[in-house]
């Protein structure tokens, strides 16, 4: 009951702050509106930490939603990615969860965690053969906490829908919550995370500039995950990266973009949570540094059409080819059945000509001159678009990856980073002859 009261008070604080902020905004007092939101968001973040892991995780998910991007709410909730207190007795919890396997295989486990997150924390350990490992252990009774909190929260979001407080034209509060709840439950089974990590390692086994820790399946389970100890410099620590002669921030940013290009377009499997706290780098394996991916609790797979469409989209933008871009949208499933192709294509062509959609890797625009028609048709065609669930995860990953890339290199651009690999993969997918024919057609078209 007390938790429900705290949650209700927090929700009221959010709605009251947003009401005040919008009043300020209507009077062109944007600075005051941002100040109101920032103060309320900081208090909400404190409340979520106090309420426990379910609420912290929901706050993390909310911080990455497109609707909150570049708002004071997102800025305050981002601290939930890192600023989460650990729990006592983690070493004992590892021993309890592993049972006889612990005594048979472990020489020791440090009781003090080296990292803590919403769902669990990581301890360093040593196996009896002297191998150092990192052991991720879940917070005790986490599933029971989830069950209790999710029941309460569903009632609250259903109430918002009954009051018809809309969050978007086609999406209800309860739908948003159910999507988030599905993510919550999927992430608390560490066996799923182990399989994600092993798939990622297999996908990048031939790439010397990407790494992820190996998993010890015999020493892992639903609530414990034992992994190779793979230390590195966190991508949050820009000063340490700058001070390390074996690391180059610009190279790391480019490789992060290329790693995500390969995940999206080649392997069709991607880590959906690439915030800087889940990424590190080490030297000695590749010039400029090797990227290390640590956390695979959240991952998703793309269909063959979605991956091929993503590759086509990049080609379309690089070639400034509106028709190819629309073909890619169709293949990805981001335009609705019966959409107005002519209007969408004309809007994209206009955006290419005006420079509204551009990239350092972009070729010369095929026809037309820059004009003042940028985005003229955009409002009219927005209703033709939709975002399938998997691509919503991809959009979130792109947003986080872009933020990390820009922190490392202020000129980072995903398309420019990916461009050298786009041609390689296109040749691999189409064959050399077809690729060269396509390139010749482009050159003839450009005159």
Per-residue pLDDT of 165-220, as tens digits, reads 655 445 577 877 787 788 778 888 999 999 999 999 999 999 999 999 999 999 99
Tell me which of 225-229, 275-279, 312-316, 366-370 is least confident. 366-370
Told to judge if 305 belongs to the known catalytic residues of this protein, a careful annotator would answer no
- Tell me how far apart the alpha carbons of residues 349 and 353 are, in angstroms, rounded to a whole number: 6
Element (H, E) at 332: helix 322-332
Per-residue pLDDT of 306-345, as tens digits, reads 999 999 999 999 999 999 999 999 999 999 999 999 999 9
- Strand 224-228 relative to strand 115-116, pairing: unpaired
Q: Which residue stretches of 188-217 are H helix?
A: 190-203
329 contact partners, CB below 8 Å, separation of at least 6: 309, 313, 335, 344, 385
CB atoms inside a 10 Å sphere around CB 231: 11
pLDDT at 104 over 80: yes
- Nearest alpha-carbon partner for 292 in 274, 307, 279: 279
Element (H, E) at 430: helix 414-430
270 neighbors 302 (Cβ within 8 angstroms):
yes
37 neighbors 73 (Cβ within 8 angstroms):
yes
Q: Within 13 Å and on the Cβ side, how many CA atoms surround 188? A: 21
- Tell me how far apart the alpha carbons of residues 121 and 86 are, in angstroms, rounded to a whole number: 7
Torsion on CA atoms 412, 263, 401, 302, rounded to nearest 10: 130
416 contact partners, CB below 8 Å, separation of at least 6: 257, 359, 360, 361
- Considering the candidates 149, 203, 273, 384, report the single residue annotated as catalytic: 273
- Nearest alpha-carbon partner for 131 in 234, 227, 232: 227
């Amino acid at each position: 009951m007390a938790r429900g009261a705290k949650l209700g008070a927090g929700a009221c604080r959010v709605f009251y702050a947003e009401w005040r902020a919008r009043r300020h905004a209507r009077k062109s007092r944007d600075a005051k509106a941002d100040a109101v939101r920032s103060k309320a968001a900081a208090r909400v973040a404190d409340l979520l930490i106090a309420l426990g892991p379910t609420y912290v995780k929901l706050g993390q998910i909310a911080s990455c939603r497109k609707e909150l991007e570049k708002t004071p709410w997102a800025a305050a909730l981002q601290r939930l990615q890192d600023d989460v207190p650990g729990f006592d007795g983690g070493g004992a919890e590892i021993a309890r969860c592993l049972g006889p396997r612990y005594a048979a295989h472990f020489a020791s486990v440090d009781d003090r965690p080296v990292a803590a997150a919403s769902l669990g924390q990581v301890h360093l350990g040593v196996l009896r053969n002297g191998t150092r490992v990192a052991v991720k252990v879940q917070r005790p009774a986490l599933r029971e906490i989830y069950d209790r909190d999710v029941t309460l929260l569903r009632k609250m979001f259903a109430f918002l829908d009954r009051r018809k407080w809309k969050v978007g034209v086609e999406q209800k509060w309860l739908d948003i919550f159910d999507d988030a709840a599905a993510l919550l439950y999927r992430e608390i089974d560490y066996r799923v995370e182990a399989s994600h990590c092993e798939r990622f390692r297999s996908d990048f086994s031939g790439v010397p500039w990407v790494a992820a820790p190996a998993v010890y399946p015999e020493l892992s389970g639903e609530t414990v995950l034992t992994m190779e100890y793979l230390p590195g410099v966190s991508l949050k620590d820009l000063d340490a990266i700058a001070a390390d002669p074996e690391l180059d921030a610009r190279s790391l940013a480019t490789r992060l973009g290329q790693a995500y290009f390969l995940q999206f377009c080649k392997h069709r499997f991607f880590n959906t949570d690439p915030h800087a706290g889940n990424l590190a780098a080490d030297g000695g394996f590749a010039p400029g540094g090797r990227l290390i991916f640590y956390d695979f609790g959240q991952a998703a797979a793309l269909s063959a059409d979605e991956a091929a469409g993503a590759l086509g989209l990049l080609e379309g933008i690089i070639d400034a080819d509106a028709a190819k871009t629309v073909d890619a949208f169709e293949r990805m499933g981001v335009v609705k059945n019966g959409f107005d192709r002519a209007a969408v294509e004309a809007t994209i062509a206009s955006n290419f000509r005006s420079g509204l959609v551009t990239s350092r890797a972009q070729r010369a625009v095929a026809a037309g001159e820059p004009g003042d028609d940028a985005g003229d048709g955009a409002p009219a065609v927005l209703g033709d678009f939709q975002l399938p669930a998997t691509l919503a995860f991809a959009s979130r990953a792109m947003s986080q990856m872009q933020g990390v890339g820009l922190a490392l290199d202020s000129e980072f651009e995903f398309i420019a980073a990916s461009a050298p690999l786009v041609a390689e993969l296109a040749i691999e997918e189409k064959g050399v002859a077809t690729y060269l024919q396509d390139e010749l057609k482009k050159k003839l078209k450009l005159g």
